[in-house]
Structure formats: structure tokens, C-alpha cells
Structure 1
Amino acid sequence: MACFRAQQTEDTEWTTCNCAQCGVAFQVRGKEQKARAVSYGSRACHLSATARRSRTCAQCGAAFYPKSPTSSDGTLQGKFCSRTCSGLAQRTRVTRVCLQCSAEFQIKLSRAENGRGSYCSKECYTFADGTLERACQSCGKPFRARRSVLERGWGTFCSQACTARRVTCTCRVCGAEFAAKQSVADEGGGVYCSNACRHLGKQDRVSKTCPQCGVQYTVPVSLKEKRRTCSRTCWVKFMGTDPVMSAVLARARREQLTSRAPTRPERILYALIDEAVAELAPDLSWERQHLLLDRWTVDAAIPSLRLILQADGDYWHGLRPEYREDPRVRGNVANDAYQDRKLSQAGWTVLRFWESDLIRSRAACTERLRAAITGRLE
């Protein structure tokens, strides 16, 4: 309690300070002295120290200090000393003479100070700017429009009512009737009744028949030649049945396979083929990544012997039963069986080597390859 009393006494006790602007001594309470970083003896000294200048009220002529300068050169805000003077100035009217018809009229003081209010009406302002006689496109009534307005491409209607005049239009998409502005319809608008119809109309869709399932579907005009089926499922099936597209895909796969580096099993297989051919038939030619039936690209082939050699990965071609739990592996196994069946029907002999056999049992793979080549040579 004693500390509180001492602090209260110190805050309320009057102390003597010197003005930071003029140096005159003045008294101030201790609490105010602590709160101020710099003390001034009067408001005039404070305004002088902060470079704030007085200004004369435009309404009553009294001197006042605006709140803050708007720039570093000391330009001050505020034309009036109070809200009362500001309201009086807004209600004050001054008399002016129209520059067109010489008639007297009254305007606000603020408009006159800003250099506005030279004409008593819009008609006088229009004639002073220079006008031309036009015919309203809506009602046909003659009217005069300013040159500056006509230069902007306006001056088509005589009034706002004619500008907002509505006409009946028919939606291009759904066929519903709706109302649109006359000006919009004259400029080529008023085509769609809603944003939904505009979205469909902007797409400019055409109707097609899916060659796979026979379903009718629509596509944008820009995709008319690219979208040949109604869905991706039908596209995959169609690619497998269309001979032209199958040949294109086969060539693309062959280019992809020939551009990449051979895998480890393929490198071993190619080395075995080189050794066997050099020993058994030096004049025999063989090819890597050979395209057959315009559909499949095999790892290696000896065309003169109608012999195909494939290096299959253990996992992706399903060497073990547990590998075939993967649906992708099951698909590869089914494709391999279908490929072997079709190539056998075409008169080719397919010889497949597992990756593990090529790496760990190279001698057995060599004997198997030599037997196949010898059997075909005989």
C-alpha cells in the first residue's frame, strides 16, 4: 500500500519542464511527463516543431490546422475547419451564367471551384460540344447526339428506354424463346437463353456413331477426327480389331523397342545367337527386334529358318505361380500364349528362354539354341 501511495503521489505531482521548441519553462504532471518523449509548452510550439502550417477555412475564414500533411513540401489537407462548415459549403449555391444560352442557374460551390458547371442543362452541353441529327434505331424518332459520343460508336438510341428495349429471340441450342436487348440483338447477340446453353453452343459439338458398340455420342468439332469411339474401353477394343490402327501401334512399339538399350537377358541371348550362328552357319542372318505380322515385335528372329527367339523376364512373364497373382502378369502370360498360337499358325517356331536360365544356366540355353538351329537347317 505504501508503494502504491508513493507511485500515485509521483504521478500527480507537478513538475517544471522546459519547452523543446522555445525553451520557456512550464509545469506538467509527472504522469504526463513520463508519457511524452518530447514536451512542448503550447500547441503553437508543437505545430511549429512538426512543420504544420495553419490554413484558412473556405467557409467561415477562420484559421485552423489540418490533421496531417499530404506531401513532404507541407501541402495540407482539409478546406474546412469543421464538419459544420463543410456541410454549409455543400448547401451553398452560387449563381452562374450558361455559356450556351446565357441563362442564369445555381450550382454547388464545390462544383464551381472545380471548374465545372458551365452549362445549365445537358441539352446546352450537347449543343456546345457540336451535335449531329440522328434517327433512333428503336423508335425511329429523330434526336441530336454529340460528336464526341458518335466518335466512340455510340449515339444509336434517343433515350434509355429505347436502349433497354427488349425483343424476342430463340435459343439456338434448346429452342426456347427469351427476351434480349434490341442493341444486343443488332450486334449479333441474343443467341442463347442461359449460360448452360451458351456453354453447349460454344463447344459446337457434332454427333457420331461409335464403330465398336454402335452408341450415338457427341464430340466437339475440333476433336471430330481424333475421337473415333465413345469411351476409352471401346477405343482399346477398336484398336485391337482395326488392322490399320494395329499396324500403326505395332510400328510405334517397334520404334520404341529399337531405340532403347537391350536388357541383360536380351544381351545374353544375342551373344548366344552370335556364337551359335558363327559355329553352325556363318552365312545365316538374324535380326533383333523383328516385326512380325505387322503386330508383334519379337526379341530376335532368324527369318530364313522361321525361328523366333524370346528372352522373358521371370516376374513379368510369370515363371512362378505366386508371380501370377499380379493381374498385369496374368495379362502378359495370356498375351504370350495368344502370340505363340498365332505365330505357330503362321508357320513360325517360337523358342522362349527364361531370364534366370540365361544368367545361371548359359550352357543349357546354348545347347537348346544349337539344337533348334540344327533341326531347322536339316
Structure 2
Amino acid sequence: MSKKPESGEWAPPPGSWASSPGNRRSMLGNRSRDTSPERALRSLVHARGLRYRVAAKPLPKMRRTADLVFGPTKVAVFVDGCFWHGCPQHFVPPKTNPDYWSEKISGNVRRDRETDDRLAAEGWLVLRFWEHEAAGDCAAAVWDAVTGRRSGTRK
């Protein structure tokens, strides 16, 4: 049973662990797909003539989805957010609830490595980009990987 807040005190809705109304609004606004960096990359890759699946499972029994999946060539593309995936350049640990966030981010990084290893074991090429990387550079890398695999020069 949850404790009722004193009058005027904010209480998160049941099931939420947000520490303030502002944090809750911010967290609700975080997208898990179709972020600006993903859309920019998809647009450039599509303009180059490559076709892909969006937010798809590379492996049927895998619970994780890649941002772009090139099934026939077995290329999975992930655009990782600097905060959620612990970017070495831009990640700043939150001051509020640091133990939770430390475990959350390190768990995300562990899951990313496990995903990479599992896909590689099945013959997939995994491309990971940070959200701050130039979309044009990422699109060129995707183009090189997919066309290289199509032509038989698997990387």
C-alpha cells in the first residue's frame, strides 16, 4: 500500500518512479524509435536507394529490435542515444537517484554487447552509431556495408 502524500506534495502515479512532475514529463517524451537521428539516417540511406525494415527484429526469436534491418544482407543498424547507452563523450550521470541510473545505463550497455555478440554469431554485421554522429557519415558506412555484402565481399 502506498503512503498518501502530505497536502501539496507531489506523488508519482502508481507504477511510476519519477522523482518530480518535470522528470515524468521528460521521461514520457523520450522516444524508443523514430528519433531525429534515426529519421535523418533513414532518409539519407533511402535516398541512396537502399531499402530496409524499421524497428524490426533481426532474428525471429530475439526480443530486441534494430533501428534499421537489411535482412538479405544481414546488416543490423542501431542509433544509440548518448544518455541511454552511456556515450563516453557525452554521458553525464544524473544527480537524482544515481544508483538507479548507474545500474540502468550499465545494464543497457551490457545488453547492447550481448545483442552484438548474438547477432555476430548468426552471421550478422552490427553497425552502431551515436546520436551525435553526422548522419551523412553514418549513411555512407551503412551504404558501404550493405553494398559490400551484396557483392559478396562480406565485412
Shorter chain as denominator, the TM-score bin is 0.5 to 0.7
Matches within 5 A, 1:354-365: 354-357=130-133, 361-365=134-138
| Cα pair distance change 1:350/1:324, threshold 3 Å | farther
Q: Corresponding residue for 2:83?
A: 315
Is 1:331 matched with 2:116? no
Aligned-partner Cα distance in 2 for 1:353–1:293:
23
1:324–1:330 contact (8 Å) kept in structure 2: no
Q: Corresponding residue for 1:266?
A: 38
Structure number having the greater strand percentage: 1
Q: Which runs of 5+ in 2 are unaligned?
A: 1-31, 94-101
User: Counterpart of 1:268 in structure 2: which amino acid?
Assistant: A
Q: Corresponding residue for 2:53?
A: 287
1:308–1:349 contact (8 Å) kept in structure 2: yes
| Cα pair distance change 1:330/1:313, threshold 3 Å | same
Aligned-partner Cα distance in 2 for 1:348–1:300:
13
Q: Corresponding residue for 2:3?
A: none
Matches within 5 A, 1:115-264: 262-264=34-36
Q: Which runs of 5+ in 1 are unaligned?
A: 1-259, 279-283
Using the aligned pairs only, state the percent identity.
Answer: 32
Bigger Rg over Cα:
1
2:41–2:139 contact (8 Å) kept in structure 1: no
2:86–2:106 contact (8 Å) kept in structure 1: yes
User: Counterpart of 2:88 in structure 1: which amino acid?
Assistant: R
| Cα pair distance change 1:322/1:273, threshold 3 Å | closer
Deviation at 1:293, TM superposition (A): 3.6
Aligned-partner Cα distance in 2 for 1:264–1:318:
19
Structure number having the greater helix percentage: 1
Deviation at 1:315, TM superposition (A): 1.4
User: Counterpart of 1:364 in structure 2: which amino acid?
Assistant: D
1:288–1:299 contact (8 Å) kept in structure 2: yes
Give the TM-score, by structure 1 length: 0.27
RMSD (Å), alpha carbons: 2.2
Matches within 5 A, 1:75-114: none
1:6-54 Cα deviation digits (max 9, x unpaired): xxxxxxxxxxxxxxxxxxxxxxxxxxxxxxxxxxxxxxxxxxxxxxxxx
User: Counterpart of 1:372 in structure 2: which amino acid?
Assistant: A
Number of aligned residues: 110
User: Counterpart of 1:340 in structure 2: which amino acid?
Assistant: D
